[in-house]
Amino acid sequence: MKQKFYSRSWILLFLLLVSSTWALGQQSTVTGTVFDETELPLPGVTVMVKGTTNGVVTDLDGKYLINVPEGATLTFSFIGFDVIERVVANQSVLDVHMQSNTSDLEEVVVIGYGTAKKRDITGAVSTVKNDMLKNENPNSVQDILRGNAAGLNVGLNTDAKGGGSLEVRGRTSLNAGNSPLLVVDGAIYYGQLADINPNDIETLEVLKDASAAAVFGAKAASGVILINTKRGKEGRSMININSNIGLGVNSRFPEVYGPEGFISYREEVQKSTFAGGGFGEHQFSDPRNLPSHISMDQWLGYDGSAGDPVAVWLQRLNLQPNEIENYFNGQSVNWYDRVFQAGLRQDHTVSLSGSKDDFKYFWSLGYLNNQGVVIGDEFKTFRSRVNLEGKVNKFLTVGMNTQFANRDESQVPVGWGAIRTLSPWGTEFEEDGSLKWRPNNEQSGGKHPSYDRTYIDRVQREFTINSTLYAALDLPYGFSFRTNFTPRFEFYERYNHESAAHVEWAERGGNASRQQRKVYNWQIDNILTWQKQFAEKHDFNVTLLANAEQFQSWDNTMSNNGFEPHDRLGFSKIDAGINPLISSHDQYSTGDALMGRLIYSYDGKYSTTMSIRRDGYSAFGQLNPRATFYSAAVGWLFSDENFINLDWLDYGKLRLSWGSNGNRDIGRYDALSDLATGKYFYQRPNGELYFVNQLYVNRMENPRLRWERTQAINIGLDFSILQNKLDGTIEAYTMSTTDLLVQRSLPDILGFSWVYDNLGEVQNRGLELSLTSRNISRNNFSWTSIGNFQMNRNVIKSLYGDLDENGNELDDFANQWFIGQAIDRIWHYKTDGIWQVHEAAEAAEYGVRPGDYKVIDVDGDGQFTNADRQFQGYTQPRFRISLRNDFRIYKNFEIGVMMYSYLGHMGSFNQMKNRDGFLDRTNAYITPYWTEENPSNEWARLNSSEGGASGFNVYRLRSFVRLENVSLSYTVPKKTLQKFKIENLRLYGNVRNVGVFAPEWGFWDPENSGPVPRLFTMGIDLTL
């Protein structure tokens, strides 16, 4: 028995040895290089055979060598980057590109007056890295932010300057400003975003909840946007050239009638106008196409006309004599070509950066010159930035962040709105070749779109300097101290001349004006920080701040007219006029603040943040110049708990925060009475008239005016699952804004119509979701998707406190603010289709006829009053969604596609009423219209009547989906560039505003109701 056991054991051992020898014989060697997304080698990457302990680490050049068995899978992992798996197959060389992982817990995030690890963040913060948009060529800061941060609403300015408004988590105020506070490189920034070159930006952080923004107190109630610019990096000097050029064309244009269509349209207008009777059969029809039963004499006799029948016909259509002459001569004008253009755009930036011997430097110089799609619309700016930092010794660091900008906004664009009114049969030029003021010699027919700008000479420029000078001390025991001094200078000038050669300005002898404004404001921030760790588990981060600021501006304006003997010198000889006016408007304000913040973390899993800030501002009443704001937040990194062991969960964190912030965005003297001056004629006893100065109190003071205050609660979840394949953030919040800064109406007996006061309450609630999905990550192909969703609901909880006889608070009908409704709630008459022929008798009761809109008479009294107005919808989007897809193909090609959508909001679409202006004297957009032969229940007849419901609106959904950007780039391989000593070369192109889909809005662009350019750009990014 024992012998049989030994025999079997030897056989088993022999088989094991044979199989092991066979397995060792099947092993192979794999080598390769690991790169980051910018093609730079990554040292220190761990390369492991999946399921084993066999692994190596990449060297300084990112290279590795590892023995692997047949069919093995390699895993590549590195802090701050996504884990990658690659099947070896038959490959002996396997190169890998790793993508940075934005959800890494050790990532340092910029917060107010400092930084913190992401694992310690307890507030709602969204980060946007400019590098992810490098192929899209953003022309403004707003272009970087649009659609890339959940909870941030970015408006759309479509002129050559671009940009747009900013709003974080909805509208919180009724009268005060709703724009977020801007902070550039740690200092509050009061300049224009147009002065910041997007190419200089490294990252942007959006602080959305009260806890994250509370350290800024003043104006932080509307959120905070932190802009962090580029710095010099370790290594040799780098020269970067980013240059692009492009075209902007009109993307969406509702057509107007051309020459032949215009005549047919005028026929229909006259038929509709006189639909009630009073005209003969085919009276407005072309006499060359009359039916056989109507003779020419009969047709002419309708109104006793004589002469050329065609001329008579055109006169009946209300065409002017020169239009008729041009008709016979076949001379028409395409006004579209006189209004819109393909605008040339160019943006060039050169930068120098580097670091040597404890000295870091970054210098950039940029030039932007954009033409809009409207003729005459242009924006030019020179921008420069100098960021310097030097380490004087072991404990002292000094630096400077300075921004220069020179904007030229002297543009005088044509009046593009005239395209709707101008007749295609009008006359463009006078006999001497000058532009014709009224192309059809009739006032209602509009004026030449370029006429005004031909007689305007304008210079409008602004030069700004924004700088932060700082010194930082590293002190013992974890303390550090930093002082920021931030001066800002602004020099504005506007010279304007309206020539007396202009028909309308001739009687005034021409007009000229000169305005010059100088602004100087400064801030001082003294920041003491203490960071210390105890027992390897207790981390403390304490920040103390003392701040002071001052603003002062000097503004002078002079104007004149009645120039003699002529006004050819314009504003250069402004004293030659006979009616000089001089005015000045100087302003001065001060502010200060004290702030303290504690960030405490235990064991890297439990964190809390508490802050208190006391702000002072001179614009508030003398009894309430200061206010105190508090915040508290906690965070739990539950994925690090031992009792949570989920294979699919990589990272999970819960956050809860509460805080209060203030809004001081009102006029600097709104709490004070002011003295206004004026002039009037006084008559002496002898009848002589002369000018007399007057001085009067213009505004009622309110010494109790205080800060508008917003309190907010935010709960958030940060997560990453499936080996970082999917990560995201979910935020839910509620905000209550009290002590609203509003203009309270006053009875006339007081002598003032209004006073600024603190009244009412507005509540905001919302939900935000941000997701990043790394769909595919392979050696030659990667696909990443980033999606954002947000919804915001606001409601007015209280207004002025005035009660009716039943004790219910009264609404504000004048401003259309209603208790229990949203600020943007639509309250108006509601339409219910179009009156049809069989309803003629009922329509007549309201003073209208078939083809006119049917307005709902709610109380049935036959009159239209406030009792008939109804709540119908909202003017702001109910949902906002964005989706970005980025692809990397064959290592060197990148494709990006970005779209966003606004859903659920409405807007007035009064073109459907077909009564825009004097239809019998102007052109019109080509739209459907009601006729007896072709009835509609949506579009009214031409020249429809409103009856007793004067001023009603027709509302339609403005929901849309916009394909915002499609970009393509090619990065030249490093091996090719090394021959020419070039560090990096990237060629890129993109199309912005590719298209928009708005199923119920068939007019101008649904986002801004006007022309929106489609931008085509090609560029080069070169690093030496």
* Position 1010, amino acid: G
Contacts of 873 (CB under 8 A, 6+ apart): 825, 826, 905, 906, 955
585-602 burial, b at 16+ Cβ within 10 Å, e below that, comes to eeeebbbbbbbebbbbbe
pLDDT at 316 over 70: yes
pLDDT tens-digit profile of 868-888?
A: 999 999 999 999 999 999 999
pLDDT tens-digit profile of 629-660?
A: 999 999 999 998 989 989 899 889 999 999 99
- Distance between CA atoms of residues 731 and 551, nearest Å: 37
Helix/strand/coil for 704:
coil
pLDDT at 22 over 50: no
Q: pLDDT band at 20, cuts 50/70/90? A: very low
> Averaged over 609-618, what is the pLDDT?
94
Q: Taking a C-beta distance cutoff of 8 angstroms, is the pair 151, 125 a contact? A: no
Output the CATH code of domain 20-97.
Answer: 2.60.40.4130
Average pLDDT, the chain: 89
pLDDT tens-digit profile of 179-194?
A: 898 999 988 999 999 9
pLDDT value for 896: 94
Lowest mean pLDDT of 17-26, 317-326, 439-448, name the range. 17-26
* Position 387, amino acid: N
pLDDT at 375 over 70: yes
Contacts of 501 (CB under 8 A, 6+ apart): 455
- Distance between CA atoms of residues 449 and 646, nearest Å: 68
pLDDT at 492 over 70: yes
Q: pLDDT band at 23, cuts 50/70/90? A: very low
Which segment, 251-255, 696-700, 900-904, is predicted with the most confidence on average? 900-904
Domain boundaries, the chain: 20-97, 108-237
- Distance between CA atoms of residues 364 and 383, nearest Å: 8
CATH number for 108-237: choose from 2.160.20.60, 3.60.15.10, 3.40.50.10420, 2.170.130.10.
2.170.130.10
pLDDT at 986 over 80: yes
pLDDT value for 958: 95
What stretches of 708-748 show up as alpha helix (H) in DSSP?
A: none
pLDDT tens-digit profile of 385-415?
A: 999 999 999 899 999 999 999 999 999 999 9
Looking at the chain, the whole-number percentage of residues with pLDDT higher than 90 is: 64
More confident residue, 219 or 66: 66
* Residue pointed to by tokens 């692997």: 68
Question: Which of 421, 434, 438, 415 is CA-nearest to residue 322?
Answer: 438
- Distance between CA atoms of residues 283 and 290, nearest Å: 9
Q: Taking a C-beta distance cutoff of 8 angstroms, is the pair 944, 914 a contact? A: yes
Q: pLDDT band at 26, cuts 50/70/90? A: low
Question: Which of 59, 70, 337, 112 is CA-nearest to residue 225?
Answer: 112
- Distance between CA atoms of residues 723 and 579, nearest Å: 76
pLDDT value for 960: 96
Q: Taking a C-beta distance cutoff of 8 angstroms, is the pair 588, 551 a contact? A: yes
Total Cβ atoms within 10 A of residue 443: 10
Question: Which of 330, 331, 289, 286 is CA-nearest to residue 310?
Answer: 286
More confident residue, 977 or 836: 836
> Averaged over 299-313, what is the pLDDT?
91
Task: Please name every residue paired with 351 in a beta bridge, in sequence order, or none if there are none.
Answer: 240, 364
Q: Taking a C-beta distance cutoff of 8 angstroms, is the pair 416, 449 a contact? A: yes
pLDDT at 14 over 50: no
What stretches of 488-584 show up as alpha helix (H) in DSSP?
A: none
The gap between the terminal CA atoms of the chain, to the nearest Å, is 81
Q: pLDDT band at 68, cuts 50/70/90? A: confident
pLDDT tens-digit profile of 910-929?
A: 999 999 888 888 999 999 99
pLDDT tens-digit profile of 155-166?
A: 999 999 999 999
DSSP 488-503: EEEEEEEEEEE-TTST
Instruction: Look up residue 316 and give its two tokens.
Output: 């009946």
- Distance between CA atoms of residues 561 and 543, nearest Å: 58
Looking at the chain, the whole-number percentage of residues with pLDDT higher than 70 is: 95
Lowest mean pLDDT of 94-108, 332-346, 675-689, 766-780, name the range. 94-108
User: What is the reported pTM?
Assistant: 0.85
> Averaged over 306-326, what is the pLDDT?
93
pLDDT at 617 over 50: yes
pLDDT value for 763: 95
* Residue pointed to by tokens 């001379």: 331
Total Cβ atoms within 10 A of residue 202: 15
pLDDT value for 739: 92
More confident residue, 49 or 520: 520
pLDDT tens-digit profile of 996-1006?
A: 999 999 889 99
Q: Please state whether the peptide bond connecting residue 565 to the residue before it is cis, i.e. omega within 30 degrees of 0.
A: yes
pLDDT at 4 over 80: no
Instruction: Look up residue 273 and give its two tokens.
Output: 């106008």
pLDDT value for 13: 39
pLDDT value for 276: 67
> Averaged over 67-72, what is the pLDDT?
84
